[in-house]
Amino acid sequence: MIRFVLAAALSVLAILPARAAVEIQEVTTPGGFTAWLVEENSIPFAAIEIRFMGGASLDPEGKRGAVNLMMALLEEGSGDMDAQAFAEAREELATTIRFDSSDDDVSVSLRFLTENRDASVDLLTQALTEPSFDQDALDRVREQVLSGIRSNQTDPSAIARETFYRLAWGDHPYGSRSDGTTESVMSLTRDDMFDAHARTISKDRVFVGAVGNINADELAMVLDRILGELPETGAPQAPDGTYQAPVGITTVPFETPQSVALFGHEGIARDDPDFFTAFVVNEIFGSAGFESRLMQEIRVKRGLTYGIGAYLAPRDRGALILGQVATAGERMTETIEALRAEWARIAEEGVTEEELEAAKTYLTGAYPLRFDGNATIARIMVGMQMDGLPIDYIATRNDNVNAVTLEEARRVAARIYRPEDLHIVVVGAPEGLEPGN
Amino acid sequence: MSPRIAAFCALLTVAALPARAADVTSFTLDNGMDVVVLEDHRAPVVVHMVWYRVGSADEPRGKSGIAHFLEHLMFKGTENVSPGEFSEIVAANGGTDNAFTSYDYTGYFQRVAADRLGLMMEMEADRMINLVIAPEFVDSERNVVLEERNQRTDNDPGSLLTEQRNAAQFLHHPYGMPIIGWRHEIEGLTRDDAIAFYRQHYAPNNAILIVAGDVTPEEVRTLAETHYGPIPANPAIQPRDRVDEPPHLAERRIMFSDPRISQPMVLRTYLAAERDSGAQKEAAALTLLSEVLGGSGSTSVLPRKLQFESTNSIYATAFYSGTSLDDTTFGLVNVPAPGVSLEEAEADLDRVLKEFLEDGIDDAQLERIKTQLRASLIYAEDSISGLARTYGVALTSGLTVADIEAWPEILAATTEEDILAAASRLFDLDQAVTSYFMPEVAAEVSQ
């Protein structure tokens, strides 16, 4: 889902590891593809998650929204089937096929009953490799995308997000919404759809996770069928973004009772050696539960908001640390003061021994809770591969949590929270808020 | 539903699909507390839930929002646990916890490693009888609730429309009041109001314990008897008996405009039957009717006729959830394409409904829907917390475990005739609220 890209990235991080009982095997197919598999035969179905790295950040200049629209069109006609015929075939099999896109990847989620495996795989293969991008389907789905863009223009949270990203990343694809603008989407043609398909969906950038009632040989056959006819390569990956948001506050006036603030600055990359410690520290600072410092100080003690959180948002081409809060316009100034104070306090003082121990207990204990269902585990495994984590990561993850020392936590807190760099976007009608610092 | 039209999701309630776990056990403690155990041994995890048969529709008049405010205050301390400590202990045990309130129920849950189940029960049983509510937290928590209302409702024109629409839909029944409460009444809620509501409704004989995951019924029984068993039943608890709707004699229309609306739409809801214990056929027919009209984004009647055979609409669907203690609603949505007025969009809806009643249902479509319903039973086994929730909602909506288990068969036995007959009873404009949702009020034409 395009508008929740960051939330999705976050959940992958939060979910990363697993209980020791999850046995992942690496499957290499005769066609040369690699996949991670958890065979789980208690329920007669399987879930397969396929992702192609790159995604909407490969939109050509002036064609923002092409990849998003292209992925939405894959279920709208392929081979000899139109949208209706495709949907009917899928419904007859009770198979789920979902296509989605974000700035870092395009994804295919497949779920099928064991008895319908081959027919489901054939259906997906056709949609993925022989899309027709008919003009009438393109026009119909384009109107839906434009409707979504219109709705976002009067949604304070969407405005805040769009504003922050534009300030943070400028002309880089990360600086704009991946579903495009009204102008760019209006200009998209059938040729742009074939081009977007060729740029993003190819053999050289694919990652696969599979969970359920399917064994290694069966998975290998399925993957060679789905992926075997794809082109070898697509467009070169996008360059890294350059973070460029100024320090201070940007206010976007909008008449609504509750103002929304998005705050943060440049973050820490997923492959940075300090990332893991940063993740543990941010759990203490900004996690969504009641125990985080931000929730305690701003919700529990002061009653200023229903929810506040901060999260690490490392994307492939640039990282942010971001948070969000919403409060009545007349209380936004107080909220931002409290938030700034917490941001400065953790940078200066780090965390306490007690907080670190509580976070470790929580993170290690909550570990098995993440593995909640076949499709979820398949998504986790794809995320792990795309992040370059080893297949035995799961077995060592809790040890890594427990190995974080107070000294490291303090050093990394001082590194990743930089009150002097904080940029805050406020959408709404805040009272008494001075632009700038 | 396609990701690109996610913006509309918030308005809709997904039609209730059947659900049944492979291993379900239920029993009742001596003090009247019902217990349901759903076994799933794939991971060493449990979900522990206590559902109370009380929700916003059981609030005293003038105290709207008290059920939900009490839910928040249930985290503000007992005789044994200090304010905030409940969630702290859950987190210190690697678990997550939260709570929720609806019209017919209030629920509290924790997800935690299976070997911590006894501790969760100990704490949940404690706050069933020993709630104190530290007074110094009441004002700030009321502000939190007001900000929650801001976030969920006042900042979202779609939610504001839902609130206005429900108020018009129910002339008398408390489903016409918002779960979170009207702002002016939330502002006046007190600690005494919360305590009074708590004493009146929170008791083992008004509660359902649901434990799902890596646990056996015997283990649950032993733990439940230890922790919940000693709490005495409250003899004042009576079956819920809410006011009935008077006859609806006039169509109602809502013209809702707000500058924060970018995408106009027309939405109509009809008063509709809900699932009753031992009598679920009408609700089954309505469930299938919503699937036939709107269950698929391309092959259902509304999208097929309005988005494919014509290009008048961007999106069209139907929604219905029959799991409710009292009469509920069945809804239709039509989002017109640019250049198509809301009047035309409404006329399109009426035309499609008329044609549908004349033409009947495509056999192949009904067969596909039933295939998917059968498959959903298999897929549902993959999410034990989802199943636990399905049971909780049904059991607090007047249904029994037997009703839940019979539901898939009742759906499967529902015929085209049943669905069309239910549709004919349903589509009565005197029972309906038709809402226009638009950026600004259309300028009046002067004569």
Which of these, B4, B395, B140, lies nearest to A331 by C-alpha position? Answer: B140
- For residue A291, what pLDDT is reported? 86
Give the model's confidence band at A372: pLDDT under 50 very low, under 70 low, under 90 confident, else very high: confident
> How many contacts (CB atoms, under 8 Å) link A and B?
193
Which percentage of chain A shows pLDDT scores above 70?
A: 94
Catalytic sites of B, residue numbers: 71
| Contact assignment for A326 to B337 by CB distance below 8 Å | no
Contact residues, chain B, for A84 at CB < 8 Å:
298-299, 304, 308
Lowest-pLDDT choice from A283-292, B52-61, B149-158: A283-292
| Contact assignment for A369 to B372 by CB distance below 8 Å | no
Interface test with B, best of A86, A98, A143 (most B CBs within 10 A): A143
| CA–centroid distance for B155 within its chain | 21
Instruction: Please state the pTM of the whole predicted model.
Output: 0.92
| Contact assignment for B2 to A44 by CB distance below 8 Å | no
Rounded to the nearest angstrom, the minimum Cα separation between B43 and chain A is 7
Give the model's confidence band at B18: pLDDT under 50 very low, under 70 low, under 90 confident, else very high: very low
- For residue A3, what pLDDT is reported? 26
| Contact assignment for B263 to A147 by CB distance below 8 Å | yes
What integer best gives the mean pLDDT of chain A? 92
Contact residues, chain B, for A371 at CB < 8 Å:
43
Instruction: Say whether pLDDT at B9 is over 50.
Output: no
- For residue A21, what pLDDT is reported? 63
What integer best gives the mean pLDDT of chain B? 92
Which percentage of chain A shows pLDDT scores above 90?
A: 89
- For residue B43, what pLDDT is reported? 86
pLDDT in tens, A169-200: 999 999 999 999 999 999 999 999 999 999 99
Both tokens of A322, joined, read 């971001």
Lowest-pLDDT choice from A48-52, B42-46, B332-336, B414-418: B42-46
Instruction: Say whether pLDDT at B32 is over 60.
Output: yes
Instruction: Say whether pLDDT at B30 is over 90.
Output: yes
Contact residues, chain B, for A141 at CB < 8 Å:
4
- For residue A288, what pLDDT is reported? 77
Instruction: Say whether pLDDT at B20 is over 80.
Output: no
Give the model's confidence band at A39: pLDDT under 50 very low, under 70 low, under 90 confident, else very high: very high
Instruction: Say whether pLDDT at A13 is over 50.
Output: no
Q: What is the mean pLDDT of residues B400-404?
A: 95
- For residue B446, what pLDDT is reported? 45
Instruction: Say whether pLDDT at A15 is over 70.
Output: no
| Contact assignment for A361 to B94 by CB distance below 8 Å | yes
Give the model's confidence band at A435: pLDDT under 50 very low, under 70 low, under 90 confident, else very high: low
Residue A147's closest chain B neighbor by CA? B263
- For residue A384, what pLDDT is reported? 95
Start-to-end CA distance of chain B, whole Å, equals 45
Contact residues, chain B, for A21 at CB < 8 Å:
43-44
ipTM: 0.90
pLDDT in tens, B171-219: 999 999 999 999 999 999 999 999 999 999 999 999 999 999 999 999 9
| Contact assignment for A362 to B3 by CB distance below 8 Å | no
Give the model's confidence band at B241: pLDDT under 50 very low, under 70 low, under 90 confident, else very high: confident
- For residue B23, what pLDDT is reported? 86
Across the strands, what pairs with B316?
B334
pLDDT in tens, B249-290: 999 999 999 999 999 999 999 999 999 999 999 999 999 999
Both tokens of A121, joined, read 């795989």
Instruction: Say whether pLDDT at A290 is over 90.
Output: no
Instruction: Say whether pLDDT at A9 is over 80.
Output: no
Instruction: Say whether pLDDT at B3 is over 50.
Output: no
Rounded to the nearest angstrom, the minimum Cα separation between B88 and chain A is 7
Give the model's confidence band at A22: pLDDT under 50 very low, under 70 low, under 90 confident, else very high: confident
- For residue A371, what pLDDT is reported? 86
SS (H, E, C) chain B: CCHHHHHHHHHCCCCCCCCCCCCEEEEECCCCCEEEEEECCCCCEEEEEEEECCCHHHCCCCCCCHHHHHHHHCCCCECCCCCCHHHHHHHHCCCEEEEEECCCCEEEEEEEEHHHHHHHHHHHHHHHHCECCCHHHHHHHHHHHHHHHHHHHHCCHHHHHHHHHHHHHCCCCHHHCCCCCCHHHHCCCCHHHHHHHHHHHCCHHHEEEEEEECCCHHHHHHHHHHHCCCCCCCCCCCCCCCCCCCCCCCCEEEEEECCCCCCCEEEEEEEECCCECCECHHHHHHHHHHHHHHHCCCCCHHHHHHHHCCCCEEEEEEEECCCCCCCEEEEEEEEECCCCCHHHHHHHHHHHHHHHHHHCCCHHHHHHHHHHHHHHHHHHCCCHHHHHHHHHHHHCCCCCHHHHHHHHHHHHHCCHHHHHHHHHHHCCHHHEEEEEEECCCCCCCCC
Rounded to the nearest angstrom, the minimum Cα separation between B368 and chain A is 5
- For residue A100, what pLDDT is reported? 97
